[in-house]
Amino acid sequence: MKTLYRLIIAAVIAAGAYIFGAFGAAVSCSTSINNKIPLTVIMYHNITKKPTLRGKYNVYISEFENDLRYLSNNGYTPISVKQLTDYAYNGTPLPDKPVIITFDDGFESFCEYAYPLLEKYGFKAVVNVVGSYAEKYTLLEEQQNPDCHNLDYSYLNINEIKKLKESGIVEIGCHTYDMHRLEGKRRGAGKNKNEDEYTYEKALTDDLEKFNTTMEKVGKTDIFAYPYGIYSDTSAEILRKNGFKAVFDCTEKINYIDRQNIDWLFFLHRFNRPSGISSESFFAKMK
């Protein structure tokens, strides 16, 4: 009889351990899903080798390399926007301490200075191009205009953009066709004062369609970046209707992402990288 009791008690303990283990695994899995993942996104513009050109939107080449070295040495893992959207829509796991590198405007200096360093350190980047700039510099290239390859100010032409996309290191984003302006008929991709919703949606949609036509040789993108970070209350929905899956703004905050509500994909915050401060000082505000 004692032997029977011992067998029963052992069975109960084993069953309890099994139940606890299964419950514990479920809790752990649930915690993993519900915890928000911090995502850092950096915004660069032009890379330069000329000290006189350094400024808020022009970073010295050594500063850029120091940034990549800092990220590598501090456990950050570069990811693509495709990896991010795969996580949001499909649950594909993200690596530890994910970081996205973005370049706005599409300066040609990216090819000469940034791309080799990205390759050296095993990083990826998103280049958000302005369609009208790419169109202009493609025409200058065809005309063999000497101004088309001045790394102080020139922009990528369509052939260069296509090669970057094919590299596997670079994703191409839309920075509008011709809304990269603060003066004139509209400020950025924002809505004008007293403008009705139909007129605004048509203006933004027409611009996006013109971008796609200009970039037909490159192919469509589902990545968008607001010029100057300017948008309206309905911009995100218009972009969603036009097939975009990830949208960058210019708010300097860490992103905390989860899969319970993926609206954050349309408000991805970024830290602008100015020249003149160390990598340690720049990244300190992101901790």
Q: Give the global pTM.
A: 0.86
From the list 44, 199, 220, 39, the residue with the least C-alpha distance to 127 is 44
Reported as a single tens digit per residue, the pLDDT across 106-163 is 999 999 999 999 999 999 999 999 999 999 999 999 999 988 899 999 999 999 999 9
**Chunked mean pLDDT (size 10), the chain, 287 residues:** 40 37 30 69 97 93 98 97 96 95 98 97 98 97 91 96 97 98 93 96 98 98 98 97 98 93 96 97 92
H-only helix segments in 79-178: 81-90, 109, 115-121, 131-142, 158-166
259 secondary structure, DSSP code: S
